[in-house]
Amino acid sequence: MQMIVRGARLHTGDGRCAPDLVEVRVEAGRIARILSYDAGAPPQPAGTVVEAHGALLTAPFVEPHIHLDTALTAGEPRWNTSGTLWEGIACWSERKRSLTREDVVGRATEVLRWQAAQGVLHVRTHCDVTDPSLVALDALAEVRDRVREVMDLQIVAFPQEGIESFPDGRRLMAEAVRRGADVVGAIPHFEDTREDGVASLHFAFELAERAGLRLDAHCDEIDDEQSRFVEVLAALALRSGLGERATASHTTAMGSYNGAYSYKLARLLSRSGINLVCNPFANLGLQGRFDGYPKRRGLTQVRELLAAGVNVAFGHDDVMDPWNALGTGNPLQTALTGVYAAHLTGTREVAAAFSMVTDRAARVLGLGDAYGIEEGRPASFLLLPADSPFDAVRRQVRPRYVVSHGRVVAENPPAPALLTWPGEPAEQVDFVRRRDPAPWRELGRG
């Protein structure tokens, strides 16, 4: 055996865990066997034997929505002082003029390294293609090939400044697909008119269908309750058969829709099978900027749509760019922020937030058999120093081991605080609740 992990608690998806500890055997980069763990059995010989001591074994984090082409450009050439989406787009439009291949490759690779170190092994990045040179797209395609051994990268042809409203927008989208984009994007709320927005979605669906690609549109990222492109996207997904291969990202206008319309829309969304991606960092920052008090939260209807059976995932969106100057690419930070932003504070809901950066995000990317802890699938997984998904979100743990195709690609040694409390010897503190553990042990483990 290449590797054996003994005594791990298995995350089976949707924030739930298997009742008994398991032993996972890895051979030739794949999961060869999953057995129930017998603490008394002598360990089989293997290249690497990891004693998990009940740590959480999960399929890797999946980043369903990030912008690697704009990452690490905050303040260049100027800062977004109003904090709006619109000024962010204006700042980026200025920065875009000085893009080079080396510039994009360097910044994107740096963020991918941060992500891999934190257990993110599948990434969907948007890439602005409203640039006649398409230099960022070519650069990201090169990065996609270079990281393939460790990480799996999907590139969305994202028309930041519009398809209908940008000179040659349609041709640039088609050219981006010809040069190897994996997913077709759109930005209907940014187009000059409502009709342009609808036309841009028709164009994007036709392009995706013709090329056999998935579709992921920035959709209704505005606090305007009249921005209703998600209904167009869902109807096109339903009628074209793209269904679950289509995703609407952001959909923040849904946070302002009235109850009667929300009810009608939820029915269409669940029939259509489309995915939604909520980006809590970016949209808590960008939305509500034109409001006095009361000020809207400006996020999509996460709780309600999960209850309606829609697949919803959480994305990071930006890392240090004109729309969000902070961020390290950490998905558990995204999940924790999402818990508060979307009122997912029940114990089952916190566990669902974990699923929204793992298996739910994997469904957005359409990873299928390439993802998940099952015999025959790639041996790509994390060992998190936590006893449940709930615990991982609460204590914001880093993966002890990140394993990609049977190889350990990152390790985070435990780093507890050393506390000297008055009258007591120095003691390590790791925020595990040890006093009266019985009811807490089971919290969120279900």
Single out the residue of 282, 312, 353, 384 in contact with ligand 17E (rule: CB under 6 A): 282
Cα-based distances in Å from 380 to 2, 108, 243, 351, 403:
13, 22, 28, 21, 5
Find the shortest distance in angstroms from Cβ 249 to ligand 17E: 8
d(CA 344, CA 263): 20
Element (H, E) at 360: helix 359-365
Binding at 85: pick from Fe ion, ligand 17E, none (beta carbon under 5-8 Å per type): ligand 17E
Q: 166 vs 323, which CB is nearer to ligand 17E?
A: 323
The one among 16, 218, 363, 394 contacting ligand 17E by CB under 6 A: 218
User: Looking at beta carbons only, is 218 or 394 nearer to ligand 17E?
Assistant: 218
To the query of whether residue 374 is one of the catalytic residues in this protein, the response is no
Q: Is 229 in the site for ligand 17E (CB under 6 A)?
A: no
Q: How buried is residue 389: exposed, middle or buried, by Cβ count under 10 Å (0-12/13-18/19+)? A: buried
Q: What's the rounded Cα separation, in Å, for the pair 73 and 65?
A: 18
Nearer to ligand 17E, 269 or 319 (CB): 319
* Interaction pattern, residues 260-299, with Fe ion; x per rule: CB under 5 A: ----------------------------------------
50, 46, 98, 41: which is closest to 73 by C-alpha?
A: 98
Say which of 63, 87, 191, 221 is annotated catalytic.
221
Alpha carbon of residue 101 to chain centroid: 25
Q: Are strands 3-13 and 48-51 parallel, antiparallel or unpaired?
A: parallel
Which partner in ligand 17E, Fe ion, none is near 392 (CB below 5 to 8 A by kind)?
Answer: none
CA distances from 365 to 69, 183, 247 (A): 19, 10, 9
Q: Which of 223, 215, 301 is nearest to 264 (CA)?
A: 301
> Near ligand 17E by CB under 6 A, which window of 162-170, 267-275, 317-325, 387-395?
317-325
Question: 318 touches which of Fe ion, ligand 17E, none (CB within 5 to 8 A by kind)?
Answer: ligand 17E
Query: Toward Fe ion, which CB reaches closer, 312 or 392?
Result: 312
Q: How far is the CB of 438 from ligand 17E (least distance, A)?
A: 44
CA-nearest of 437, 358, 361, 350 to 394 is 350
End-to-end CA distance of the chain: 31
Q: How far is the CB of 222 from Fe ion (least distance, A)?
A: 13
Is 63 among the residues that bind ligand 17E (CB under 6 A)?
Answer: no
Considering the complex, state which of residue 127 and residue 237 has its C-beta at the smaller distance from ligand 17E.
127
Calpha distance 322→324 (Å, rounded): 6
List of residues contacting ligand 17E (CB under 6 A)? 67, 85, 160, 187, 218, 221, 282, 317-318, 323
